[in-house]
């Protein structure tokens, strides 16, 4: 936790000494009001967020929200101000009356924001006092999503605000089952990476690689024809869409190795598409095939390697090791592949 130092910010110190902005007699601000309805407009917003459209704009105003008709003894649940996070929590709480304390995570989900420190000890302590939560409820319990624990030290929150942090389940959908006893089953405490959870990540992966994919497709079309152009498009989509789907059934541990495997299959399909059917093979065509066999697999491998950053199973040490192991191989393979394709293109033009 290099970048994080939970609880050591100036605001935390301010509240310890008791000279915070919330003077004792001032009435607490009125909480925002919300409900558990997800409108079509909000579903449209979620859809856009999944496709990475206006990435930073999927936010709700941070602060305290009243859901249902909460009173001074109602539970307080803490979440991020990303619309997907906030809406998941309030939708899960249909029929409940509670407070939602929304931290300013700059429109980023709980886990990523906790890693960055924006879903953190300082922001939580500050938000408790700036919303007047300590005057609105007479208990001192805050229910946090478990994945917020990366950024929030329960101990320091207690020390700086008097509030006890209770880490709830990983998933918002489990909150109703958690609330009565405030107990999470082992299953509620584990992150999963199900087919659906992998599926929802694919749109943004595709969008982020769309432009380079189109450019590479056009360049290869000019250099090596339609089959090669299709090949590079397939290699990119295999890395961004097929690999995340197939992840649990991939044979190798390292994502990059699996990417090389899938990219190799794409390249072989490409060679098959170019096969003239008659021997001997024209050397210009053979060179093009070799170029594609070397050039396409590292494309898929690179994208698969990048997917490590989007999974809940890979560690930073793992990512660094993969980069050290595979980037040199990818670079050599890609460069040789490009030389092969270019050479065959030039030879083809000169021969004509």
Partner 1 sequence: MATQLQAINTLQYDSHRCIGCGMCATVCPHGVFAVESKRARLVRYETCMECGACQVNCPTQAITVDSGVGCAEAYIRGILTGSEPRCDNSCCGEGSNGRGCC
How far lies 69's CA from each of 32, 36, 97, 165, 248, in Å?
12, 12, 5, 23, 44
Minimum CB distance to partner 1 smaller for 110 or for 293: 110
Among 164, 321, 335, 349, binds partner 1 (CB under 8 A): 321
**What is the smallest separation between the CB atom of 155 and partner 1, expressed in angstroms?**
5
DSSP 213-250: HHHHHHHHHHHH-HHHHHHHHHHHHIIIIIHHHHGGG-
Count of residues interacting with partner 1 (CB under 8 A): 66
**What is the smallest separation between the CB atom of 7 and partner 1, expressed in angstroms?**
10
Minimum CB distance to partner 1 smaller for 66 or for 84: 84
CA angle 216, 219, 224 (to 5 degrees): 110
Greatest Cα-to-Cα distance within the chain, rounded to the nearest angstrom: 93
Contacts of 93 (CB under 8 A, 6+ apart): 36, 67, 68, 77, 175, 176
Minimum CB distance to partner 1 smaller for 67 or for 236: 236
Among 18, 180, 309, 351, binds partner 1 (CB under 8 A): 309
* Subset of 238-297 contacting partner 1 (CB under 8 A): 247-253, 255, 258
CA atoms of 205 and 225, how far apart (whole Å): 26
Minimum CB distance to partner 1 smaller for 60 or for 66: 60
Asked if 2 touches partner 1 (CB under 8 A), the answer is: yes
* Beta pairing, strands 98-103 & 63-67: antiparallel
Minimum CB distance to partner 1 smaller for 170 or for 296: 170
Asked if 139 touches partner 1 (CB under 8 A), the answer is: no
CA atoms of 299 and 337, how far apart (whole Å): 11
**What is the smallest separation between the CB atom of 169 and partner 1, expressed in angstroms?**
11
Asked if 56 touches partner 1 (CB under 8 A), the answer is: yes
Each residue 163-202 as x (binds partner 1 by CB under 8 A) or -, in order, gives ----x--x-------------x-x--xxx-x-------x-
Among 28, 29, 36, 53, binds partner 1 (CB under 8 A): 53
Minimum CB distance to partner 1 smaller for 107 or for 217: 107
CA atoms of 200 and 10, how far apart (whole Å): 39
* Subset of 86-115 contacting partner 1 (CB under 8 A): 106-109, 111-112, 114-115
How far lies 44's CA from each of 82, 109, 210, in Å?
14, 18, 21
Minimum CB distance to partner 1 smaller for 197 or for 282: 197
CA atoms of 211 and 232, how far apart (whole Å): 13
Binding site for partner 1 (CB under 8 A): 1-4, 6, 52-57, 106-109, 111-112, 114-116, 146-147, 149-155, 167, 170, 184, 186, 189-191, 193, 201, 204, 208, 247-253, 255, 258, 305-306, 308-310, 312-323
């Amino acid at each position: 936790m290099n970048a994080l130092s939970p609880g050591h910010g100036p605001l935390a110190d301010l509240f310890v000494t008791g000279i915070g902005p919330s003077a004792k007699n001032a009435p607490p601000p009125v909480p925002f009001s919300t409900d558990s309805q997800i409108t079509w407009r909000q579903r449209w917003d979620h859809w856009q967020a999944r496709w990475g459209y206006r990435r930073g704009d999927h936010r709700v105003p941070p602060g305290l929200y009243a859901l249902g008709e909460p009173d001074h003894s109602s539970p307080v649940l803490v979440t991020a101000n990303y619309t997907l996070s906030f809406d998941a929590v309030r939708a899960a709480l249909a029929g409940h009356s509670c407070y939602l304390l929304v931290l300013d995570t700059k429109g980023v989900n709980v886990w990523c924001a906790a890693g960055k420190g924006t879903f953190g000890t300082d922001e939580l302590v500050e938000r408790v006092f700036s919303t007047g939560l300590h005057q609105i409820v007479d208990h001192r319990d805050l229910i946090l999503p478990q994945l917020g624990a990366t950024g929030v030290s329960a101990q320091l929150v207690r020390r700086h605000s008097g509030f006890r942090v209770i880490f709830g389940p990983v998933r918002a959908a489990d909150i109703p089952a958690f609330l009565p006893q405030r107990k999470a089953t082992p299953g509620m405490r584990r992150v999963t990476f199900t087919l659906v959870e992998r599926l929802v990540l694919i749109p943004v992966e595709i969008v982020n690689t769309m432009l380079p994919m189109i450019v590479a497709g056009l360049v290869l079309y000019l250099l090596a024809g339609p089959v090669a152009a299709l090949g590079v498009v397939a290699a990119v989509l295999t890395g961004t869409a097929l690999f995340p789907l197939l992840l649990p059934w991939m044979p190798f541990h390292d994502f990059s190795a699996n990417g090389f495997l899938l990219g190799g299959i794409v390249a072989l399909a490409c060679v098959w598409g170019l096969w003239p059917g008659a021997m001997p093979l024209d050397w210009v065509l053979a060179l093009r095939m070799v170029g594609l066999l070397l050039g396409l697999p590292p494309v898929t491998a690179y994208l698969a390697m990048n997917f490590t950053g989007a999974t809940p199973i890979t560690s930073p040490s793992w990512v660094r090791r993969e980069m050290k192991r595979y980037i040199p191989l990818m670079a050599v393979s890609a460069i040789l592949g490009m030389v092969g394709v270019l050479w065959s293109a030039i030879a083809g033009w000169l021969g004509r």
